[in-house]
């Protein structure tokens, strides 16, 4: 099941963080610059499929109200502490 998320992206390391069911999770994306560019053109919130570990971004396209899906495979990111201090 895909859940809507709002990711934080570190362009230097490729780290992607977002809250998932009340807990901050960290992943790695191979092209953080592309993900950032596409997020700037999204037509809705990105969604994360936890079973496939994929982040889907729907980008505006002329003639397609729902946009075109761009899917990013995410890898687990070994980190002991979240980069953000939001929520505790």
Distance CA(11)–CA(35), nearest Å, equals: 10
Distance CA(8)–CA(29), nearest Å, equals: 12
Q: Taking the CA of residue 83 as centre, how many other CA atoms within 13 Å lie in the half-sphere pointing to its CB?
A: 15
Kindly state the DSSP code that residue 42 receives in the 8-state scheme: B
pLDDT at 65: 82
Entry pTM: 0.82
Residue 80's pLDDT band, with cuts at 50, 70 and 90, is: low
Kindly state the DSSP code that residue 32 receives in the 8-state scheme: H
pLDDT at 88: 53
User: In this predicted model, what pLDDT tens digit does every residue of 18-71 receive, in sequence order?
Assistant: 999 899 999 999 999 999 999 999 999 999 999 999 999 999 888 888 889 999
Domain ranges of the chain: 2-76
pLDDT at 66: 82
Distance CA(20)–CA(5), nearest Å, equals: 8
């Amino acid at each position: 099941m895909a859940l809507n998320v709002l990711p934080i992206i570190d362009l230097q390391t490729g780290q992607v963080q977002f809250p998932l069911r009340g807990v901050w999770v960290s992943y790695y994306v191979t092209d953080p610059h592309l993900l950032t560019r596409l997020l700037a053109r999204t037509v809705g919130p990105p969604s994360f499929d936890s079973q496939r570990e994929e982040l889907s971004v729907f980008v505006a396209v002329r003639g397609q109200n729902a946009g075109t899906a761009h899917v990013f495979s995410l890898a687990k990111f070994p980190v002991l502490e979240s980069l953000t201090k939001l929520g505790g």
